[in-house]
Amino acid sequence: MTRFTNWQRPQFDKNGMTKWQWMCQYQENLNLGENTDIGAFTYINARFGVEIEADVQIGSHCSIYSHNTIDNTKGKVIIKQGAKI
């Protein structure tokens, strides 16, 4: 059973914001599965890749980074199908 009947892949404005009020920098490196639900004011930095598989729910005000400025680690983030954050 899917949560959405009319799920749409988001469009980003020039600042990376969606009409649902979440944003992504480097959206060309964001791989978004169908029926994902991302809450308002969530920030995704996909510089080194972020893959969000199908049927994932991410609540509002979350931040997802593919790099860490504290210890300079970086790499692709994968959030598996059906995860809830």
pLDDT in tens, 18-27: 999 999 999 9
Give the domain range for residue 75.
Answer: 23-79
Does the residue 63 lie in any domain?
A: yes
pLDDT at site 34: 94
| Average pLDDT, integer, range 40-61 | 98
Residue 73, in any domain of the structure: yes
Domains held by the chain: number: 1
Is there a domain that residue 43 lies in? yes
Q: Is residue 53 part of a domain?
A: yes
**Which pLDDT belongs to residue 6?**
87
CB 22 within 8 A of CB 29: no
CA distance 26 to 49: 8
In a domain, 8, yes or no: no
Rounded to an integer, the average pLDDT of 10-25 is 97
- Tell me the pLDDT tens digit for each residue of 36-45: 999 999 999 9
Q: Confirm whether 1 is domain-assigned.
A: no
Using the predicted structure, report yes or no on whether residue 1 has a pLDDT greater than 60.
Answer: no
